[in-house]
A = this chain, B = another copy of it.
Amino acid sequence: MKKVDRFGVKILGCGSAKPTLRHLPSSQVVDFRGNLFLVDCGEGTQRSLLKWHVSQAKIGHIFLSHLHADHCLGLVGLISTLGLGQRQGTVVIHAEPDFERVFGPQFDYFCPQLSMELKIQQHPTAHSSVIYDDGSLTVKTIPLRHRVPTTGFLFEEKPRLRHLNIERARELSIPVAYYNAIKAGADWTLENGVTVPNGELTTDPAPPRRYAYVSDTACTESILPLIQGVDLLYHEATYLDKDRDKAMLRGHTTALQAASLARKAGVGHLVIGHFSSSLHSADDEKLLLDEAQTVFPDTLLADEGLDIEL
């Protein structure tokens, strides 16, 4: 895919709270047309960025789902390193309102004179809201059900411009300066007053793509309206369904539950992650995958370095 159209997700860490040698704690990068958005930042994230050749310089926004250690303890180190690297511009951290109280003293001490501007944008966690919006992308929160205030994130591409039939435009001597208006949906009026409808000048663009990140949460159908029909859903699947009670108690989801939600929401693909440390091997994780695929065949297991194009 051309870089200008790229919309991809790269997994940097898909383990859970207890550290293991199989996985790193939660972190991933969303690459939208070359702009990078970091989602969660567990311990070790800055080193993973190096390992997987992700340019720190292109990370403008960092979204934290919640303030559990395995989702945010790599943040101060990363910001400190960006400063050491003389990063310019602005880096925005999106987090729930407790963030500043919990992280402020460390930023003050470890990052006193940053080369770049560091902005903290707080978002509510009880209802969905748009927390990022530019000409081509919005990011919305997805309220989740965990042991502390938690949200997922929905990355939504805005509708792209229509494809102009360039030969037809030339036949009709439409000025080049008017092409963007046509791509945006305008009709064209000939000198004789006859209108050529937009549908004769353009074809539909590819539909806008959507990616939903859902971690950590107890299984909840309340997210269905937001994730309905997304191209890609990353959903935590900490446990096998035999541990459903434990999952509920701890605010987590089983592989079977995640797959059932994916099916109900009619998503394109499902990636499951946030694996319990009690899964000791690739074979153990395969059990999660098998379970999920019984109800949603188009499921993938997350893994560090996995790169998925929407």
Interface, chain A (partner B; CB < 8 A) = 17-21, 24, 43-44, 46-47, 50-51, 67-70, 73-74, 76-77, 80-81, 84-85, 98, 101-106, 109-110
Contacts and interface: CB of A to CB of B under 8 A. Distances in A.
A72 to B, nearest CB: 9
Copies in the complex: 2
Given A21-B50, A105-B102, A109-B98, A76 B77 contact: no
Contacts of A101: 105, 109
A83 to B, nearest CB: 10
A106 B106 contact: yes
Nearest to A44: B44
Given A18-B85, A67-B109, A76-B73, A47 B44 contact: yes
Contact of A18 (B20, B51, B81): B81
30 contacts: A17-B81, A18-B81, A18-B84, A18-B85, A19-B77, A19-B81, A20-B50, A21-B47, A21-B50, A24-B47, A43-B44, A43-B46, A43-B74, A44-B44, A67-B109, A67-B110, A69-B77, A69-B80, A70-B77, A73-B76, A73-B77, A101-B105, A101-B109, A102-B105, A102-B106, A102-B109, A102-B110, A103-B105, A104-B105, A106-B106
